[in-house]
Amino acid sequence: MSFDDLINSAEVSRVVPSQSHVFCGVAQCDITPPIGIQSNPWGKSQSARSTGVHLPLVANAMVLKSSANDEHEQFLVALDIGWIGCYECDVIKFRTRVVNELGIEIDDLLVNLSQTHKGPPFCIHEATREGAEYVPAFIENVISSVINICKEARTTLEEVNITWAYGKCDLASVRDLPLGETDFVGYNPNLFADDTLTIGRVTNLEGKPCATLVNYGCHPTTMGWESDLISPDFVGKAREIVEGKTSAPFFFLQGACGNLGPREQYVGDPSVADRNGEILGYATLATLAKMFPPASEYRLTELVRSGADLAKWTLAPANPSTTVKRERRTIRMKHKELLTEEKMRANWHDVEPRIVNTRVQKQLGIRFNYVDGDYVNHPVWLWQIGDAIMIAHCGEAYFEMQVQLRRRHPDRVIMFMDMTNGPGYVYIPTRPAYERNAYQSWQTLLAPGSFEEMLTFLDEALHSFSVEKGR
Amino acid sequence: MSSPQVIPYEGQALIGISRREITPPIGIYGRMWGASSHDISEGTHKPLYVTALSLQSSPADMPALLVSVDAASIGDLSGLEAHWIRKEVMSALNIDDSHLMLACSHTHASPWSAHSRSKMPGGDLIEGYLQNLLSAIIDAGREAILERALAIVTCKSGSCSLATNRDFPDPYDPNRFLTGFNPAVPADETLMVGRIVTVQDGKVIGTIVNYACHPTSLGWDNKLISPDYVGAMRERIENEFEGAPCLFLQGASGDLAPAYQYAPDVSVADSHGDQLGFAALSVLASMNPSGQKLAFDRAVESGAPLAYWIPKTYAVPTDVAITADKVNLPAKAWPSEAKLDREIEKATDSFAKERLFRKRSIAKLMSGKSEIELTIYGWRLGKILLVGVQCEVYSVWQMTVREMFPDHAVVAITCVDYEAIGYVVPDALHELNLYTAWQPPFGKGGMDALFEGSVRQLKKTFNQA
């Protein structure tokens, strides 16, 4: 056997990145609301009225198809919005309207919210504080903007390559901090956080960047109650840095963030959010820089005798997967005892009444069309885009969920997306978080053990998606 | 219960930083690769520099000088050019042996600046180049010392996946390893980053990047002088800090190199530089403001019970310790210069000749010795440790040294005063047909001696200060 024959047949002499070859269109618009709007959702804030803008809020849309003739379209939307938390405002008034306008099914649309804590409410029922008068027009503007950019994305449809890669980013820290008898929500320096950063680089056939998909788990809570500014939090600066280099829209897709937040947070100074954004932005650029050119793989091609005997690897054309498909599944998980309003208020009798009102409203709103007898029906969307799988749901999972799934499925890149498509606006904490009575465990509807059930369910579900890498 | 806090890896001292360009003239002997079909450089990709950092506790103390040099080596073991340059620099700046580290970046696209190559094509430019290198180091060192200011160095580690394992089992010959990307073995991705900020005006006057990865993006077909990936990395970082110089310090990269390497195209080096530069910028952004720890301040009842942390000033340590000692590493049996001369005479292939030249250069040092003496530098500034060794080393060395000092940032520097002696590898590799095992003169036990010497040297810095 010749050297050439041998290296062509040897699995070890070939490195194939995770890739996709699909049709894609992208559009972006500004959704910054007017100054004065209610945009300080913190329980601790004295006034919710905004007095300025730190950086603009942005909406991004992407349409995906497996081929130019494919009639089936899937839309991915990323919004600099906090949360919805209400079936009526999310499913009925927003997503149903968008899919009707686009002529697609509701499961063909994923809307990921960044969860900035410095934007207006996107649920009309939360428009209760100073500056609430601007909220209805803001919501209407966002919905019509999403419809418009989805339609615009269709007009920019072209053949693209997507290269997927994991990188690392040190922004997120574990935010469950036991101090005495209480578990506080804040930086815990004794625990390691998941620093996985998942990137999708979308380029057209000329190699020009079309979009950067950035999936990372971290609460955008740098800016706290002392700031009156409208802000996308760290996402804003990260976007500036990445788009400054790529000239293509930056899609921030919030990952499993239930127990992750920045080390330095809850501050009034937007420069801290900018520093946090630099951590993410530069980590994204580092990950982009490590990628091989689009639709290429790496092959051992030559043995060169030099000072040493050298193995020369060279780039070769690859044959990326063209698969685009989606599934929606429902995970049945047990919920805790559902407290009445009176019981909740009694439990929080020593907390400020306004804060209690916020907590009670959240608890009641998340049950609609979700609780079903002793169980909840937790929807989850699984999208395969070539060698990558997007797992999307509306909860806020503890980061261990994405870590475990990635560990169990190393042959594909997993984009794990919290804060996407309700219902299911709940934390999904691990069992130990319940034992410590962490905030996330008393906020959630789910019974202990739900995290573990969901993990098993998703692990098994992933096996039904084909692995096509390196065909 | 004490309130939680996180103290950064910092130290405060009088620090200066300065740079001089050392780009050689076009046409200089530049053959770094046995596989090359050319001998001389035909142009310049990006400039080469020396960047000097001076460090002292007070004006009365002798300054220590750490100089990053864009070179594969400073001469070789035949000419002992690094020995000569060190002597001249110490004399000109009035510093002693322990206070000077010449840290080569190890770029393989720099001239082979050894007198032993002066008869090669373009070799006539070597002497002038070495004189320029000497002047540049003295000038940069003197200026760094003169312009010193009270400054805080903050170090933090991050990660960068540019480096990959480069010991690849030959698929054609199972008894041999090739030097090239091995995707099956994970690499040490540790990236140690430093930021130097003046106390008086809070200005960033320099940055430090300590990372282990062979600067071999560019290979035998490249005809340009280049700092390899270090060039673009520096530009990325310096652009964000008003041009404040970035000091690159090569880590323990004996087994580490980029996956995509040996390329003729400088854009490959630049994209590697982007990768390292952006990773370093991400680490720099994650540092607290200089001289501040992150401290738990108070609990806040909001929608959730919140733990509120803020940066707070604290007493930054100011102790500086500068040490260096010799350590003996076991030597292998080595052929004599005369024997190797005869073999060179007979060799016809360029790669075979190049290997023999390198072997002969080592032979001069080896005659009749059972041990090889190397210097290990151990410096400390507050909670930052710097360890420097005069060889190339496998990454397990820096990983283990860092494990030994978990409460400090360890800046691990190899290729210091480098005269191309070669690699220190773990004992388990010694018998293998592996370049990094058969090339160097170090025998079994070398890694243990180097590791133990390094730890001993760093421990001394706690006694001296």
Q: What are the boundaries of each domain within chain B?
A: 5-289+320-331+370-464
Select from B84, B85, B58 the least CA-distant residue to B69: B85
Average pLDDT rounded to a whole number, residues A191-199: 98
Question: Helix B266-285 and helix A270-290: axis angle, to 10°?
Answer: 150
- The secondary structure of A101-166 as a DSSP string is HHT--GGGEEEEE---SSS--SSGGG--STTGGGHHHHHHHHHHHHHHHHHHHHHT-EEEEEEEEE
Residue contacts between A and B (CB atoms, under 8 Å):
196
Structure tokens at B435: 């370049």
Question: Do A187 and B294 lie within an 8 Å CB cutoff?
Answer: yes
Which of B309, B349, B429, B434 is most worth mutating to test chain A (most A CB atoms within 10 A of its CB)?
B309
Question: Do B172 and A3 lie within an 8 Å CB cutoff?
Answer: yes
Q: Which residues contact A110 (CB under 8 A, 6 or more apart)?
A: A74, A75, A76, A77, A381, A383, A390, A392, A417, A420, A421
CB burial class (10 A; 0-12, 13-18, 19+) of residue B399? middle
Please write the tens of the pLDDT for every residue from A61-97. Answer: 999 999 989 999 999 999 999 999 889 999 999 999 9
Give B388 or A179, the one with higher predicted confidence: B388
What's the gap between Cα B378 and its chain centre? 14
Report the predicted TM-score, pTM, of the whole model to 2 decimal places: 0.96
Compute the nearest-CA separation of A103 from chain B (Å).
Answer: 39
Q: What is the residue type of B212?
A: A
Strand B292-301 with B5-6, pairing: antiparallel
DSSP code of B316? -
Structure tokens at A357: 């009102």
Chain B residues within an 8 Å CB radius of A355? 301-303
Residue in chain B lying closest to A263 (CA): B309
Chain B residues within an 8 Å CB radius of A177? 4, 296, 307
Which of B204, B282, B435 is most worth mutating to test chain A (most A CB atoms within 10 A of its CB)?
B282
Token match 């990768």: residue? B275
Please write the tens of the pLDDT for every residue from A99-125. Answer: 999 999 999 999 999 999 999 999 998
Does residue A282 sit at the B interface (CB-CB below 8 Å)?
A: yes
Q: Which residues contact A195 (CB under 8 A, 6 or more apart)?
A: A168, A169, A170, A172
Does residue A442 sit at the B interface (CB-CB below 8 Å)?
A: no
In tens digits, chain B (465 residues) has pLDDT values of 578 999 999 999 999 999 999 999 999 998 888 888 889 999 999 999 999 999 999 999 999 999 999 999 999 998 999 999 999 999 999 999 999 999 999 999 999 899 999 999 999 999 999 999 999 999 999 999 999 999 999 999 999 999 999 999 998 888 899 999 999 999 999 999 999 999 999 999 999 999 999 999 999 999 999 999 999 999 999 999 999 999 999 999 999 999 999 999 999 999 999 999 999 999 999 999 999 999 999 999 887 889 999 999 999 999 999 999 999 999 998 888 889 989 988 988 878 888 888 888 888 888 778 899 999 999 999 999 999 999 999 999 999 999 999 999 999 999 999 999 999 999 999 999 999 999 999 999 999 999 999 999 999 999 875
Compute the nearest-CA separation of B19 from chain A (Å).
Answer: 26
The answer to whether residues A289 and A283 touch, using CB atoms and an 8 Å cutoff, is: no
Strand A324-334 with A375-385, pairing: antiparallel
Q: What are the boundaries of each domain within chain A?
A: 324-462
Put simply, the chain A residues between 176 and 235 with a CB less than 8 A from any chain B CB are 177, 179-180, 182-187, 189, 225
Compute the nearest-CA separation of A307 from chain B (Å).
Answer: 5
Confidence of residue A4 (pLDDT cuts 50, 70, 90): low
Q: What is the residue type of A257?
A: C
Put simply, the chain B residues between 14 and 43 with a CB less than 8 A from any chain A CB are 33-36
Per the rule left: phi > 0, alpha: psi between -120 and 50, beta: everything else, A89 is alpha
Cα maximum dimension of chain A: 81
Does residue A13 sit at the B interface (CB-CB below 8 Å)?
A: yes
Instruction: Please report the ipTM that was assigned to this predicted complex.
Output: 0.95
Does residue B260 sit at the A interface (CB-CB below 8 Å)?
A: yes
Chain A residues within an 8 Å CB radius of B177? 309
Considering only CB atoms, B358 lies closest to which of A186, A307, A358, namely A307
Structure tokens at A18: 């995770």
Cα–Cα dist B254/B191, whole Å? 16
Chain A residues within an 8 Å CB radius of B214? none
| Share above pLDDT 90 across residues of chain A, in percent, rounded to a whole number | 85
The sheet that has B49-56: what strands, in order across it? B100-104, B64-69, B49-56, B9-21, B149-159, B190-198, B204-211, B246-250
What end-to-end distance do the CA atoms of chain A give, in Å? 24
Question: Do B311 and A311 lie within an 8 Å CB cutoff?
Answer: no
